């Protein structure tokens, strides 16, 4: 007999656990399950185990609104974040709803029954590693009234590794940060880290602390900013205000600060460039070529800004434990990298910190009454529902701030919609496309390489609300909280299911 649930949440990472906790708190009468393809809870924060892995935004906004972050660090280590997600799952009762090693490979909507039919693969508990695209398991079927995809936006089984001429000749390990070997000893080794994003700027100082010499080899620079590893206001308020009130004060400060910083950067890019350049120059040796290595050609926030807590990257460079080289690779040699400029870098280990592969909705195939749905050809309603796809929501967070800020808004919006539907006797909610056409853009609108490679997969956003995904938490807060008219949504009463 096929099992039926009110809501299925797909993914047990930071977003999925938060979404399920919100639904359990606000709609406790519903039957809810969380399906997770991996062996453990944690998502990104369990998958990535490279040295120094940490948040790239403050924990007062990366943490959940309903469960204050209690750690000392504002920029937290990956292990601390993983434990925070696990404790949240335990304390909210979500842990009992999580079903591990279950991968949703297909979802079919049936209008005649107003439900989703999910094809789920159950993985052998003895299997190790990530699911492969071609991996099989025991198949079962689950039906649900509402499907909530909290699957992130990238593939877990493989990262992006561009073709590197001659790499097969390299005599040492070639490692992608997404699959860092637990037994890789860094002490005394020379690492060349190919890349310049958040992962690279995290790895360099972390490897230096482990006794390695790390060189960040970048094709082009990235904006890097030193940020405090601990929040002074949070430390001052500790013990002086009730913990939840103190958390709200500090969280509000970070939310408003990130909005102001982003708006300033977009409206006065030249001034923001100068601020970032001068700040980096002040923390580096006088002989360091800041303009070559830390002054990108693009404007701030065309790509995500890289934060380095306490300026640890700059400290490692100043101490001589790390280098930055901006050049192109001519070829990989047995013991290093030959550069296009004619120089070379010696290496014992190559790290390809070259990014991610985009994967929408966890790779599940979806169809509506037998009609296949290509998410890349749909428009996003409030950045959370696909046009023409009933009773399905998904989580897309912010690119200029903490992902969880928007994930919290979406989880509460879904809960409110389900409450409204039950109160009014409605079975179906579906977003209709706007009547007027206009320019569209990807729902994640960044110039980053991994986004550009995955553009065809990403849902589109329109040029005005509720089709526009605003990179502004306050604006979204007002939109989600006070725009209850749902003009773009069509609701179908339960009595009309047949």
pLDDT of the residue at 129: 65
Per-residue confidence (pLDDT) for residue 452, from 0 to 100: 86
Q: Kindly report each contact of residues 367-374 with a partner whose C-beta sits within 8 Å and lies 24 or more positions away, as own/partner.
A: 367/106, 367/107, 367/108, 367/109, 368/108, 368/109, 368/111, 369/109, 369/110, 369/111, 370/108
Per CATH, the homologous superfamily of domain 174-234+270-352 is: FAD/NAD(P)-binding domain (3.50.50.60)
Fold observed for domain 3-156+357-496 = FAD/NAD(P)-binding domain (3.50.50)
Return the bridge partners of 346, or none.
336
- The answer to whether 323 and 289 are in contact (CB under 8 A) is no
The closest of 386, 359, 459 to 156, measured between CA atoms, is 359
Residue 190: CA atoms inside 13 Å, Cβ hemisphere, count? 10
**Which DSSP string corresponds to 384-404?**
TEEBT-TTEEE----SSS-HH
Q: How far apart are CA 207 and CA 117, in angstroms?
A: 47
Q: What is the pLDDT of residue 484?
A: 53
- Asked if residue 304 lies in contact with residue 334, where contact means CB atoms within 8 angstroms, the answer is no
Closest CA to 383 of 259, 466, 482: 466
Quickly tell me which residue has 């910190």 as its tokens: 353
DSSP β-bridge partners for residue 431: 387, 489
- Collapsing DSSP to helix, strand or coil, 106 comes out as strand
Segments in the chain below pLDDT 70: 1, 126-136, 483-486, 495-498
Domain boundaries, the chain: 3-156+357-496, 174-234+270-352
CA-to-CA separations, 273 to 263, 301, 324, 326, 412, in angstroms, rounded: 13, 10, 19, 19, 37
Q: What is the pLDDT of residue 497?
A: 44
Q: Are strands 426-431 and 489-493 parallel, antiparallel or unpaired?
A: antiparallel
Q: How far apart are the first and last CA of the chain?
A: 22
Tokens of 261: 């910083």
pLDDT recorded at residue 36: 96
* Beta partners for residue 326, in sequence order: 218
pLDDT digits (tens, 9 = 90+) for 317-372: 999 999 999 999 999 999 999 999 999 999 999 999 998 999 999 999 999 999 99
Instruction: Give me the pLDDT at residue 130, please.
Output: 67
Q: What is the pLDDT of residue 496?
A: 47
Q: What is the per-residue burial (b if ≥16 Cβ within 10 Å, else e) of 264-296?
A: ebeeeeeebbebbeebbbebbeeebebeebbbb
């Amino acid at each position: 007999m096929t099992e039926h649930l009110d809501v299925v949440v797909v993914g047990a990472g930071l977003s999925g656990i938060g979404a399920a906790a919100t639904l359990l708190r606000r709609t406790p009468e519903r039957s809810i399950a969380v399906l997770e393809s991996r062996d453990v809870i944690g998502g990104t924060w369990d998958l990535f185990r490279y040295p120094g892995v940490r948040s790239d935004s403050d924990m007062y906004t990366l943490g959940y609104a309903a469960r204050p972050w209690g750690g000392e660090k504002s920029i937290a280590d990956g292990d601390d974040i993983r434990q925070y997600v696990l404790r949240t799952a335990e304390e909210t009762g979500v842990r009992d709803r999580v079903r591990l090693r279950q991968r949703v490979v297909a979802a079919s909507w049936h209008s005649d029954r107003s439900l989703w039919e999910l094809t789920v693969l159950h993985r052998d508990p003895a299997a190790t590693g990530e699911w492969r695209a071609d991996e099989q398991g025991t198949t079962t079927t689950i039906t649900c009234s509402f499907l909530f995809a909290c699957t992130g936006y990238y593939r877990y089984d493989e990262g992006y590794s561009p073709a590197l001429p001659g790499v097969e000749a390299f005599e040492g390990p070639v490692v992608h940060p997404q699959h860092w070997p637990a037994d890789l000893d860094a002490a005394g080794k020379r690492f060349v880290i190919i890349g310049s994003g958040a992962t690279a700027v995290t790895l360099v100082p972390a490897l230096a602390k482990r006794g390695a010499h790390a060189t960040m080899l970048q094709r082009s620079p990235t904006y890097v900013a030193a940020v405090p590893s601990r929040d002074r206001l949070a430390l001052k308020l500790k013990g002086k205000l009730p913990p939840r009130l103190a958390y709200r004060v500090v969280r509000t400060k970070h939310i408003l600060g990130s909005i102001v910083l982003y708006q300033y950067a977009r409206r006065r890019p030249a001034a923001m460039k100068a601020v970032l350049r001068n700040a980096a120059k002040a923390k580096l040796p006088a002989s360091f070529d800041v303009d070559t290595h830390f002054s990108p050609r693009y404007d701030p926030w065309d790509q995500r800004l890289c934060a380095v807590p306490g300026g640890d990257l700059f400290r490692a460079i100043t101490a001589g434990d790390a280098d930055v080289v901006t050049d192109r690779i001519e070829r990989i040699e047995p013991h290093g990298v030959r550069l296009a400029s004619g120089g070379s870098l010696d290496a014992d280990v190559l790290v390809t910190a070259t990014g991610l592969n985009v994967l929408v909705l966890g790779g599940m195939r979806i169809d509506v009454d037998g009609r296949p749905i290509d998410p890349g050809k749909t428009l996003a309603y409030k950045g959370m529902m696909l046009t023409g796809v009933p009773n399905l929501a998904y989580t897309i967070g912010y690119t200029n701030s903490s992902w969880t800020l928007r994930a919290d808004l979406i989880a509460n919006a879904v809960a409110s919609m389900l409450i409204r539907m039950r109160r009014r006797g409605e079975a179906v909610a579906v977003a209709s496309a706007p009547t007027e056409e206009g320019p569209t853009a990807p729902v994640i609108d960044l110039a980053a390489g991994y986004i550009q490679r995955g553009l065809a997969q990403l849902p589109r956003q329109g040029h005005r609300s509720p089709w526009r995904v605003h990179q502004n938490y306050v604006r979204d807060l007002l939109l989600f909280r006070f725009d209850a008219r749902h003009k773009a949504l069509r609701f179908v009463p339960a009595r009309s299911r047949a």
